């Protein structure tokens, strides 16, 4: 019998849409939506389980699922023996300590002997221990941000994204203790058939991510500036240069990393390039 990868995804929450979108971009089709707990892909040997995010590391550890997508914050907090096989770049957030806005914050030592409310007692406990601070950790499972206003704690340690939840609860962020994003986790003992399928999936994910991080660029360049311009456009191997119908001009095609894009584009224009087109790439295979 040939293997089927079982992949655990968050049913509905901050990880779900981007997870579903990632598989779509990898060309892996499956149905999801209201009430569905399981779905089999119609074109890849995979079965999807839709779960609460907190349950995913445990299901992967127990081997009920082979792979899962979960926030790094949840995976590290739970400390399950699963392996992180890839960072996915979405659902980015940070775990931060926050205190009432009027607090005269002088540094982490301010928390000595104080009460801190959090849903992340392990991450917070480790951080405080590293910093040599002894504080009382109150583990609560939700609405952490209201703890100071109801007198439960003097500080909180919670997930922050835009910061607006802290702001509307009269709190200010004073220390970031962990940065998180969605990660792909795997059980440590995948058999060789499942490992091969996981590798195939990972190859697709990397191709999709590489495409997102790069742009295809087409421009016209005067021949005398070709050396200077192509040096700014290394491309996957080297840029493609073809002559234009107009004498003394060439068309240059290449790939440019998103991070270097604006910096290089100015230098490329300054070197004499014209008619620059920047085109999104759908997949990029190395």
CB of 256 to ligand PRT, least distance (A): 29
- Residues 175 and 130 sit within 8 Å (Cβ to Cβ): no
Contact between 165 and ligand PRT by CB under 6 A: the answer reads yes
Please, which residues bridge with residue 48 across strands? Answer: 7, 39
Whole-angstrom Cα distance, residue 226 to residue 68? 48
Q: Which token pair is 27? A: 């060309």
Contact between 96 and ligand PRT by CB under 6 A: the answer reads no
Looking at beta carbons only, is 184 or 256 nearer to Zn ion? Answer: 184
CB of 137 to ligand PRT, least distance (A): 17
Candidates 25-33, 48-56, 80-88, 212-220: pick the segment binding ligand PRT (CB under 6 A): 48-56
Contact between 58 and Zn ion by CB under 5 A: the answer reads no
Q: Which residues contact 66 (CB under 8 A, 6 or more apart)?
A: 5, 6, 7, 60, 186, 187, 190, 194, 198
Candidates 9-17, 58-66, 213-221, 256-264: pick the segment binding ligand PRT (CB under 6 A): 9-17
CB of 19 to ligand PRT, least distance (A): 10
Kindly give the pairing relationship between strand 38-40 and strand 249-257.
Answer: unpaired
Kindly give the pairing relationship between strand 136-139 and strand 115-118.
Answer: parallel
When binding is defined by CB under 6 A, the residue of 34, 164, 242, 247 that contacts ligand PRT is 164
Contact between 145 and Zn ion by CB under 5 A: the answer reads no
Whole-angstrom Cα distance, residue 217 to residue 253? 6
Taking residue 26's Cβ as centre, other Cβ atoms within 10 Å add up to 19
Contact between 13 and ligand PRT by CB under 6 A: the answer reads yes
If phi > 0 it is left, if psi is from -120 to 50 it is alpha, else beta; for residue 126 that is alpha
Whole-angstrom Cα distance, residue 44 to residue 262? 38
CB of 24 to ligand PRT, least distance (A): 19
When binding is defined by CB under 6 A, the residue of 5, 147, 159, 268 that contacts ligand PRT is 159
Q: Give the x/- contact pattern for Zn ion in 27-56, rule: CB under 5 A.
A: --------------------------xx--
Q: Which token pair is 256? A: 């440019």
Contact between 71 and ligand PRT by CB under 6 A: the answer reads yes
CB of 124 to ligand PRT, least distance (A): 14
Concatenated DSSP letters of 108-132: GGGGTT-EEEES-HHHHHHHHHHHT
- Residues 128 and 192 sit within 8 Å (Cβ to Cβ): no
Contact between 91 and ligand PRT by CB under 6 A: the answer reads yes
Count helices and strands in the chain by DSSP H and E runs: 8, 15
Looking at beta carbons only, is 57 or 148 nearer to Zn ion? Answer: 57
Candidates 7-15, 99-107, 208-216, 246-254: pick the segment binding ligand PRT (CB under 6 A): 7-15
Q: Which does 42 bind (CB under 5 to 8 A by kind): ligand PRT, Zn ion, none?
A: none
In the complex, the residues that contact ligand PRT under the rule CB under 6 A are 10, 13-15, 52-54, 71, 73-74, 91, 93, 158-165, 180
């Amino acid at each position: 019998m040939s293997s089927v990868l079982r992949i655990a995804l968050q049913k509905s929450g901050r990880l779900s849409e981007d997870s579903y979108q990632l598989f779509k971009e990898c060309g892996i089709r499956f149905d999801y939506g209201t009430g569905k707990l399981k779905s089999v892909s119609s074109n890849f040997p995979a079965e999807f389980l839709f779960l609460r995010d907190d349950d995913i590391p445990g299901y992967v550890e127990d081997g009920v699922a082979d792979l899962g997508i979960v926030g790094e914050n949840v995976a590290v907090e739970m400390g399950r023996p699963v392996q992180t096989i890839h960072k996915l770049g979405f659902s980015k957030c940070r775990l931060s300590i926050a205190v009432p806005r009027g607090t005269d914050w002088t540094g982490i030592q301010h928390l000595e002997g104080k009460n801190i409310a959090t849903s992340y007692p392990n991450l917070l406990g480790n951080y405080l221990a590293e910093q040599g601070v002894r504080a009382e950790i109150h583990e609560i499972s939700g609405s952490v941000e209201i703890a100071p206003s109801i007198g439960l704690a003097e500080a909180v340690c919670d997930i922050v994204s835009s910061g607006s939840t802290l702001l509307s609860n009269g709190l200010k962020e004073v220390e970031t203790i962990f940065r998180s994003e969605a990660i792909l986790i795997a059980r440590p003992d995948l058999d060789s058939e499942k490992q091969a399928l996981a590798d195939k999936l990972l190859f697709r994910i990397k191709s999709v991510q590489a495409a997102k991080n790069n742009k295809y660029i087409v421009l016209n360049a005067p021949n005398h500036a070709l050396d200077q311009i192509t040096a700014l456009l290394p491309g996957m191997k080297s840029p493609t240069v073809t002559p234009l119908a107009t004498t003394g001009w060439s068309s240059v095609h290449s790939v440019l990393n998103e991070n270097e894009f604006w910096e290089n584009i100015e230098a490329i224009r300054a070197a004499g390039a014209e008619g620059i087109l920047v085109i999104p790439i759908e997949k990029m295979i190395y």
